[in-house]
Amino acid sequence: MSAPSHPPIVRTRFAPSPSGHLHVGGARTALFCWAFAHQNHGRFILRIEDTDQKRSSDAASVGFLRDLKWLGINWDEGPEFEDCGGGDYGPYFQSQRLETYTKYLDQLVAEGKAYYAFDTAAELDAKRAEARKENQNYRYDRAGLMLPPEDVESRLKAGEPAVIRFKLPEQPIVIRDEILGEATIAPGQLDDFVIRKADGYPTYHFAVVVDDELMQVTHVLRAQEHFMNTARHMVLQDALGFRRPVYAHLPLIFNPDGSKMSKRDKDKALRAAVREKGIDDLSAEFRTTAGIDEWLRDKDRQLEFDSALMLADDLNVSLPEINVDDFRRSGYLPEVLCNYLALLGWNPGGDVEKFDRDFLIEKFSFERVLKSPAKFDRAKLLSFNHDAIQALSTEQFVDLFRAHCNEFHTEFLEKLPPEHFDLLAAANHKRSKTLDDQVRSSRFFIEPDDAIEYDPTDKSARRAMLGGESPGRAHLESLLPILEEQEDWDVVSLERTIGAYVQQHAGGNLGKVAQPLRVAVTGTTISPAIYETLTILGKVSTVNRIRRCLDAFAMA
Ligand code: GLU
């Protein structure tokens, strides 16, 4: 009997388990599923695989939806969110489909293709240990299958916890993959896997097979780590009389050093920074946090997201971005991230590296997907982002920077009047590689004057203030009364006043005056253009800071 065939329309799905934020690997899978569906005028489905009660959370599901929308990966069917979702094959949350799974589970048990098993975790552990001792691969011994039916019935009636296992046929399984080619899995490589857990929920394997059939999925694109799972899914499809989708397994994504890109990388970076700085230098809040010592020692421990962010701030380190949300927070543009994600394990051929979504839809093909792992090259992504930011008009940059601050740094919008905020954004444009990378260095604009620290031992500050024949400090001293008298405080007026001073007293060399001014207002020698900087900062703070700076360097 030949298996029923699929309707001609291409239907792909992205099926995340909402156990946290959307990882770049997941985003790449979603992007390819989306592009392939569009290329074929098909449908892209989003299904939330939330049957793992322990790991799923509603907040995480919403995070996934928001991250996908931000990337512009809109789903035609799935959870309803903004203008996406809906569809005739729902519900699209697996936790709402339990009755459907039960129906098919019962069917397999009734047909003798699956069976109840009562082994406890301790019993299974003992059998695994035994196999290890004898240097054998552990395979479930089918203890459940040997039980007489009346026994099974009475134990179930008595409420004894039981799983359902699939009775694996003893034939080799041939996987045909659009990217990896053909592979044969010998029966001994798998065993009677669990398809329903003791809590009554189906396992991932079972739910995915039922849903792919009922949602009429024609093409399954997912990461290579699921390759062996495909063998399990195929035997289940055969047992249930389901159609077989086309499979395409995408290469894994590694860090440039060959390690797997994982959320643990953030903790790794933080631990290294703590060790370098010394735990005594951390804020009291962290030193006394329960479990911080264990976290330092145990490389598998992870800090809560908010604690990690706070610690990073405390240590002044940037966390490696792993999730889509991290890249958003770091000020990457969604279209740039999409472009870069598309290059992880695929390329359009030739020298073309920069392209938009329409190009990806047109050119995507399984033939050009690589088998070997892709490397995530942050420097390259950053350079793509830099180019894209520089290609924006200043107005566009200002709008994007405002939206970015609105989400992540509201203090700038609260503390600066709108015209000064816009001036700051515009002044930062040419210095920016991301929407975020001038944020830290712009803090001096909104800090209280007495928070600016002067370090007379700092080499460049010292040179700007005390070096040369006409030291910066002397210029500041002469400028102070002039600025105190200055009435109009805007870019043009300041340029006129300071420019005239520079002509008269600094031989026309603006740097001679601008650098000590920078030291005064920022504590460092780095700031945006000086007239803009002073305008945004305002007269009172400028004057205050010049006074404090003169004091600090007088004592040096
Ligand atoms: N929920 C699975 C995961 O997040 C989906 C795998 C699949 O696409 O079948 O890995």
Note the pLDDT of residue 2.
Answer: 52
Q: What is the pLDDT of residues 409-449, one digit of tens each?
A: 999 999 999 999 999 999 999 999 999 988 988 999 999 99
Only one residue has tokens 């210095």, namely 431
Q: What is the pLDDT of residues 195-215, one digit of tens each?
A: 999 999 999 999 999 999 999
Instruction: Pick the range with the lowest mean pLDDT from 18-22, 457-461, 481-485.
Output: 18-22
Residue 60 CB–ligand 1 contact under 6 Å: no
Note the pLDDT of residue 281.
Answer: 73
CA distance 26 to 359: 21
Which atom, in ligand 1's list, is nearest to the CA of 222? Answer: 8
CA distance 435 to 418: 18
Residue 205 CB–ligand 1 contact under 6 Å: no
233 CB contacts (<8 Å, ≥6 apart)?
A: 205, 208, 209, 212
| 283 has a pLDDT exceeding 90 | no
CA of 37 to the centre of ligand 1 (A): 18
CA of 248 to the centre of ligand 1 (A): 13
Note the pLDDT of residue 353.
Answer: 96
| 497 has a pLDDT exceeding 90 | yes
Note the pLDDT of residue 53.
Answer: 62
Note the pLDDT of residue 428.
Answer: 94
CA of 377 to the centre of ligand 1 (A): 25
Which atom, in ligand 1's list, is nearest to the CA of 16? Answer: 4
CA of 72 to the centre of ligand 1 (A): 21
CA distance 30 to 497: 57
Residue 235 CB–ligand 1 contact under 6 Å: no
CA distance 487 to 525: 26
Average pLDDT, integer, range 90-113: 96
Residue 15 CB–ligand 1 contact under 6 Å: yes
Which of 17, 19, 233 has most ligand 1 atoms within 8 Å of its beta carbon, as the pocket-test mutant? 17
Residue 222 CB–ligand 1 contact under 6 Å: yes
Which of 222, 225, 253 has most ligand 1 atoms within 8 Å of its beta carbon, as the pocket-test mutant? 222
CA distance 223 to 525: 48
Prior bond of 373 cis (ω within 30°) = no
User: In which region does residue 258 sit, left (phi positive, over 0), alpha (psi from -120 to 50) or beta (all else)?
Assistant: left
Taking the alpha carbons of 340, 342, 344, 347 in that order, is the dihedral positive or negative? Answer: negative
Average pLDDT, integer, range 74-90: 94
User: Residue with the nearest Cα to atom 3 of ligand 1?
Assistant: 16
Res. 61 pLDDT band, cuts 50 70 90: confident
Note the pLDDT of residue 264.
Answer: 80
User: Residue with the nearest Cα to atom 4 of ligand 1?
Assistant: 16
| 177 has a pLDDT exceeding 50 | yes
Using CB atoms within 10 A of its CB, is residue 227 exposed (0-12), middle (13-18) or buried (19+)? middle
Residue 203 CB–ligand 1 contact under 6 Å: no
| 556 has a pLDDT exceeding 60 | no
Average pLDDT, integer, range 165-182: 96
Residue 16 CB–ligand 1 contact under 6 Å: yes
Asked if residue 255 lies in contact with residue 265, where contact means CB atoms within 8 angstroms, the answer is yes
Average of per-residue pLDDT values in the chain: 92
Using CB atoms within 10 A of its CB, is residue 2 exposed (0-12), middle (13-18) or buried (19+)? exposed
Which of 46, 208, 236, 252 has most ligand 1 atoms within 8 Å of its beta carbon, as the pocket-test mutant? 208
188 CB contacts (<8 Å, ≥6 apart)?
A: 137, 139
Cite the beta strand spans of 112-224 per DSSP E: 114-117, 163-166, 173-177, 181-185, 194-196, 219-223
| 404 has a pLDDT exceeding 80 | yes
Give the helix ranges, DSSP H, for 166-223. 204-214
CA of 78 to the centre of ligand 1 (A): 15
Note the pLDDT of residue 1.
Answer: 47
Q: What is the pLDDT of residues 136-168, one digit of tens each?
A: 889 999 999 999 999 999 999 999 999 999 999
Asked if residue 374 lies in contact with residue 347, where contact means CB atoms within 8 angstroms, the answer is no
| 55 has a pLDDT exceeding 80 | no
